[in-house]
């Protein structure tokens, strides 16, 4: 069967790299990039692109009708920090965007749907270290609330309507190709840009703030591996815990100093993102992903640091 894959939110930090990876596997013309904004040169010139707002049902419907997708990836969302600046919009986009896609996937018999969740589904009363798949979840950001509700909807549609929907709780994703989209973990990207440009960085998260992170190459590979896995192996239909590496700003800075010895790290004060970070896990237990679809990250801290610096230098 020829796959037809629609990626909604194709211009974002994940979409930019996912579209490229999927086009390599499934062929350029079979992966339709969709976003509300004009795409960058690469995505537009390597295959089909459509302007889509995931809150406009008629446009979405015409996309499903035109392409009859076998797989849909819904990446359009407001992240944790931007979500707090506009809570109602974050809820509307993150929740109604998802429900629109789940309903259309049923109408058009889409074989598989992918929707990302986040470590933001955990909250102040979740265990901080090696946070398990199943535990207390009391997110206190609109982003986290919408992701947790979205997870419940995904599982509900799978159980009620037999929709093959799959999901991963991404940690902070580190990448050099596209800019991050307003998250709490974005410091771990900005730090590389400033280290190379200015030799110094003022972190908006405090020393000692340990968060789960992952290199984008691992995240893209893991996402495609989950989507390729036998449906019978996927027992979690809410969203899988997913782990790469965990570190603090000062541990990352020490690693950067191995390549840029004069690099200095300072800290800003009273950034609202600190409270968000404090409510999230320090590390994640991803044993379900490991056991059920053989997840294994390839990038540790030293490998991702080297790769970021090499690519950003170019």
Smallest separation, CB 211 to ligand SER (Å): 8
> Min. distance of Cβ 171 from ligand SER in angstroms?
7
Q: Of 1-9, 33-41, 117-125, 261-269, which part binds ligand SER (CB under 6 A)?
A: 117-125
187 binds ligand SER (CB under 6 A): no
Of 227 and 276, which has the nearer Cβ to ligand SER?
276
Asked if residue 242 lies in contact with residue 168, where contact means CB atoms within 8 angstroms, the answer is yes
Q: At what angle do helices 301-313 and 187-197 cross, to 10 degrees?
A: 50
249 binds ligand SER (CB under 6 A): no
Catalytic residue among 26, 67, 114, 143: 143
The answer to whether 120 contacts ligand SER (rule: CB under 6 A) is yes
Tokens matching residue 122? 């955990």
CA 103 vs CA 16, 49, 55, 96, 98: distances in Å: 25, 22, 13, 10, 9
* CB 142 to ligand SER: min, Å: 11
Residue selected from 185, 203, 283, 305 as contacting ligand SER according to rule CB under 6 A: 185
What is the sign of the dihedral through the CA atoms of 125, 129, 134 and 140?
positive
Place of tokens 């992952």: 214
Q: Interface with ligand SER includes 178 (CB under 6 A)?
A: no
DSSP string of 35-67? ESSPPPHHHHHTS-EEE--TT-HHHHHHHHHHH
- Tokens encoding 256: 């950067």
**Piece in contact with ligand SER (CB under 6 A), picked from 31-39, 102-110, 159-167, 182-190:** 182-190
Residue closest to ligand SER, measured at CB: 183
CA distance 224 to 118: 17
Does 215 participate in catalysis according to the annotation? no
C-alpha span between 102 and 74 (Å, rounded): 10
Contact map string, positions 74 to 103, toward ligand SER, x by CB under 6 A:
-----xx-----------------------
Nearest residue (CB) to ligand SER, 104 versus 173: 173
Rule CB under 6 A: say whether 305 interacts with ligand SER: no
Checking 36-42 for CB contacts under 8 A at 24+ apart, the result is 36/76, 37/11, 38/11, 39/10, 39/11, 40/11, 40/16, 40/178, 42/16
Q: Is 203 in the site for ligand SER (CB under 6 A)?
A: no
Surface-to-core class of residue 3, CB atoms within 10 Å of its CB (0-12 exposed, 13-18 middle, 19+ buried):
middle
Segment interacting with ligand SER, rule: CB under 6 A, options 179-187, 242-250, 284-292, 299-307: 179-187
**Dist CA 226 CA 166 (whole Å):** 7
Residues of this chain, 20-39, that bind ligand SER according to CB under 6 A: none
Give me the least distance between CB of 147 and ligand SER, in Å please. Answer: 8
Which residues are registered as beta bridge partners of 165?
113
Give 123 or 172: the residue with its C-beta nearer to ligand SER.
172
Q: Which stretch binds ligand SER (CB under 6 A): 34-42, 85-93, 115-123, 189-197?
A: 115-123
Q: Does 170 sit near ligand SER (CB under 6 A)?
A: yes
Pairing of strands 211-215, 245-247: antiparallel
Contact between 172 and ligand SER (CB under 6 A)?
A: yes
204, 187 Cβ separation under 8 angstroms: yes
Q: Which residues are catalytic?
A: 143
What does the binding site for ligand SER look like in residue numbers (CB under 6 A)?
A: 79-80, 118-120, 143, 170, 172, 183-185
């Amino acid at each position: 069967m020829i796959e037809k894959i629609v990626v909604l939110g194709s211009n974002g930090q994940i979409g930019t790299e996912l579209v490229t990876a999927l086009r390599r596997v499934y062929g350029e013309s079979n992966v339709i990039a969709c976003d509300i904004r004009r795409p960058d040169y690469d995505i537009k010139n390597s295959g089909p692109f459509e302007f889509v707002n995931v809150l406009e049902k008629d446009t979405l419907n015409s996309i499903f009708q035109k392409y009859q997708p076998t797989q849909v990836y819904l990446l359009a969302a407001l992240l944790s920090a931007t979500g707090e600046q506009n809570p109602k919009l974050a809820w509307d986009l993150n929740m109604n965007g998802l429900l629109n896609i789940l309903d259309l996937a049923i109408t058009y018999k889409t074989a598989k749907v992918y929707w990302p969740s986040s470590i933001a589904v955990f909250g102040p009363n979740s265990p901080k270290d090696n946070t398990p798949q199943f535990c207390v979840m009391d997110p206190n950001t609109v982003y986290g609330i919408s992701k947790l509700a979205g997870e419940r909807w995904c599982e509900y549609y799978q159980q009620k309507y037999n929709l093959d929907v799959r999901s991963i709780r991404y940690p902070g994703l580190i990448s050099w190709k596209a800019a991050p989209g307003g998250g709490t973990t974005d410091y771990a990207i900005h730090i590389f840009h400033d280290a190379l440009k200015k030799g110094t960085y003022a972190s908006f998260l405090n020393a000692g703030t340990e968060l789960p992170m992952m290199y984008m190459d691992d995240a893209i590979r893991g996402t495609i591996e989950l989507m390729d896995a036998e449906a019978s192996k996927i027992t979690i239909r809410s969203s899988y815990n997913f782990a790469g590496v965990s570190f603090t700003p000062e541990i990352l800075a020490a690693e950067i100093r191995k390549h840029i010895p004069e690099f200095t790290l300072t800290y800003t004060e009273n950034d609202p993102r600190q409270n968000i970070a404090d409510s999230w896990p320090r590390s994640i237990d991803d044993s379900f992903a490991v056991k059920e679809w053989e997840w294994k990250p390839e990038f540790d801290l030293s490998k991702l640091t080297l790769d970021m610096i090499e690519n950003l230098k170019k």
